[in-house]
């Protein structure tokens, strides 16, 4: 009994430390966003902007961006603007996915509460996306390392655009119409686009901003991709399918392999994202 106890409590302490690591990152991103977009006149614009930014589901991509930056030896501050921009893009996509269109909400069975009218929920995300790019352009990093920021702008615009998240949402609608069709292959594709590539982008951007080598950037891009795939498969449509757990297990192994290059306590921290 005394043999197990220390181990158990060690695990608990580690778990708590890791939890507080992610919680601290989340707080940092929230604080940065709140500072960047204070509620000010016209409140008819900024109240919905604030609400829709913070009420959207949380994605693990923004915190991954900061963790990746730290893993390659950068400071969290170097990646917090990119993480905030990624959250804005995610929140914009989330809001549009639940928008009430004349042919019904895009997301079947959506239970999101609508605080605002459709036209506000249409336009507010239209403001959030350029705002994310503006934040990047105005960031401290843009002064110090304009090449890195330009690279991050390209990474993010690709990941969220018509060949990234938008494509995933798009295929999800097309697929969603064919109810009963059990097209697991298409759902994998949707996960790739909606979650995989966004997390891949987050990992790569964090590594770029932290001054990582090209090898480190590509490792963290792949790590992010696997993390995103796991998130998508366990939380997206068809999430309870038994066969997915096998795939998830394989994805975890692949993800851990990408971290072998790195050393230090940050490896343990970033790898706990696989258990979320």
Contact residues for its own copies, defined by CB under 8 A: 42, 44-46, 49, 89, 92-93, 96, 99-104, 106, 117-120, 122-131, 133-134, 136-138, 142, 146-147, 149-151, 153-154, 156-158, 160-163, 166-167, 169-171, 173-174
Q: How far is the CB of 106 from its own copies (least distance, A)?
A: 5
Q: How far is the CB of 214 from its own copies (least distance, A)?
A: 18
Phi–psi pair at 178, nearest 5 degrees: -85, 75
Q: How far is the CB of 119 from its own copies (least distance, A)?
A: 5
Would you give the DSSP letter of residue 194? I
Q: How far is the CB of 120 from its own copies (least distance, A)?
A: 8
Question: Interhelix angle for 118-138 vs 76-97, to 10°?
Answer: 160
d(CA 172, CA 158): 19
Q: Tokens 């969603």 appear where?
A: 176
Q: How far is the CB of 40 from its own copies (least distance, A)?
A: 10
115 contacts 51 by C-beta, under 8 angstroms? yes
d(CA 237, CA 227): 17
Q: Looking at beta carbons only, is 13 or 115 nearer to its own copies?
A: 115
Task: Provide the terminal-to-terminal Cα distance of the chain, rounded to the nearest Å.
Answer: 29
Q: How many CB atoms lie within 10 A of CB 77?
A: 15
Q: Tokens 């158990």 appear where?
A: 8
Q: Looking at beta carbons only, is 74 or 164 nearer to its own copies?
A: 164
166 contacts 129 by C-beta, under 8 angstroms? no
């Amino acid at each position: 009994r005394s043999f197990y106890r220390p181990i158990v409590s060690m695990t608990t302490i580690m778990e708590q430390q890791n939890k507080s690591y992610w919680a601290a990152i989340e707080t940092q991103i929230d604080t940065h966003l709140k500072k960047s977009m204070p509620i000010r006149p016209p409140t008819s614009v900024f109240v919905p902007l604030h609400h829709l930014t913070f009420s959207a589901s949380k994605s693990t991509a923004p915190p991954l961006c900061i963790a990746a930056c730290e893993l390659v030896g950068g400071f969290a501050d170097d990646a917090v603007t990119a993480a905030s921009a990624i959250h804005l893009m995610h929140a914009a996509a989330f809001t549009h996915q639940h928008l009430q269109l004349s042919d019904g909400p895009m997301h079947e069975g959506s239970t999101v509460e609508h605080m605002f009218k459709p036209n506000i929920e249409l336009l507010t995300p239209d403001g959030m996306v350029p705002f994310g790019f503006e934040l990047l352009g105005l960031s401290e990093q843009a002064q110090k390392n304009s090449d890195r920021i330009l690279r991050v702008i390209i990474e993010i615009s690709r990941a969220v655009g018509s060949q990234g998240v938008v494509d995933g949402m798009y295929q999800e609608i097309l697929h969603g119409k064919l109810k009963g069709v059990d097209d697991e292959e298409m759902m994998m594709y949707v996960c790739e686009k909606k979650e995989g590539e966004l997390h891949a982008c987050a990992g790569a951007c964090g590594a770029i901003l932290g001054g990582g080598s090209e090898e480190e950037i590509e490792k963290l891009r792949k790590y992010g991709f696997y993390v995103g795939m796991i998130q998508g498969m366990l939380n997206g449509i068809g999430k309870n399918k038994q066969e997915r757990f096998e795939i998830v297990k394989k994805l975890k192994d692949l993800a851990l392999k990408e971290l072998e290059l790195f050393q230090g306590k940050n490896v343990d921290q970033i790898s706990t994202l696989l258990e979320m």
